[in-house]
Structure formats: C-alpha cells, structure tokens
Amino acid sequence: MPHTYSGNKRTKRPDFRPNGKRRLKALQVTVENDRLARVAANELKAKGMSTIPRHEKLAPVTAAELEQQLKKKKKAQETFPEMKRYRALLKLLRQIVVLEEKRESGVVLNDAQIAKVNRFDGLAAELEELQQSLDSSEDEDGVDEDEDEESEGEDDESEGEADEE
C-alpha cells in the first residue's frame, strides 16, 4: 500500500517495461476520450436534448389510436379505486383469520383485535359485492368485443342456412 494521501503511485514516473511509453500514452488517450464523452453527454443532458430529436423517435399517432388510449386510461382510473379497496379487504380478512387462529390457540386478544375479528361477516359481504362489481365491469369490457364477433358469426350462420335451402 502506498504511503500517500491520494493512493496514487508515481504516475508520472517512466515505465521501463517493454512498450512502456506507448502503453502510458494509450492509457492517457482512453482516459481523455472517456472524459470528453462524459462532458458531451452532460452538455446534452443539461440542454434537455438527446442524440435523436423527439419527433424522429416517436411514430405518428392517429386520432383513433389516441382516442383508444384515452378510453383505456379512463377505464383504468375508474377501476383503480375498486381494485385498491378489493386488495385492502383481502388483506384485512387475512389478518382476521390470523387473529382467529391466535384466539383459538389460547392467546388473549385486546379490545381492538376483538373488534377487528367481529367485523369479519360485514367485510366478507362487502368483498363479495365488490368482486361482483369488478366481474361485471370486466364483462362489460369483454361484451363490446364479443358483440362484434357474434354479429360476424350471425352473418356466417345466415349464409349457411341460405346454402342449405
């Protein structure tokens, strides 16, 4: 271990190994190139620009695609609070089950824990209602796609009936 504050060992001292000067010069060149690349990247970052202009990165978006994206986001925002509540209820029910097991094993529960255990039936009913509403909202999403497929299928059936006669 060198006895210097920086930990560097005589970097300016000539290298007496074969090709020492060439090795030192190559090392200095790579260090300088790395430094220049970092400086250039920092300048671009500071300007808020990237190497490729934004309009070349993005594919053009049609109005129909934009409308579909907005509909998906809106539906996701509508179902998000319901999903969040559903997960919270599941977690609460798991905690109640653990408390029930503790009580059956002989552990004495405090008042707050007993109150939580007593909420089990109401939470289970609320969870079922929420699950049904989520299932119905998923069915509504799938109904639009299914109706299109069914209408195509009806056309095929009517053609088949005409062929039979």
Express as a percent the part of the chain with pLDDT over 90. Answer: 22
pLDDT at 73 exceeding the cut of 80: no
Domain range annotation of the chain: 1-58, 63-164
What pLDDT score does 35 carry? Answer: 92
What pLDDT score does 67 carry? Answer: 78
CA atoms of 31 and 35, how far apart (whole Å): 6
Token pair belonging to 1? 């271990």
pLDDT at 76 exceeding the cut of 50: yes
Model confidence at 55, pLDDT cuts 50, 70, 90, reads low
Q: What is the DSSP string of 76-107?
A: HHHHHHHHHHHHHHHHHHHHHHHHHHHHHHTP
Residue type, 135: D
pLDDT at 14 exceeding the cut of 90: no
pLDDT tens digits for 22-50? 888 888 999 999 999 888 888 877 776 65
More confident residue, 46 or 87: 87
pLDDT at 104 exceeding the cut of 60: yes
Say whether pTM exceeds 0.85: no
Q: Give 22-75 as a 3 state SS string.
A: HHHHHHHHHHHHHHHHHHHHHHHHHHCCCCCCHHHHCCCCCHHHHHHHHHHHHH
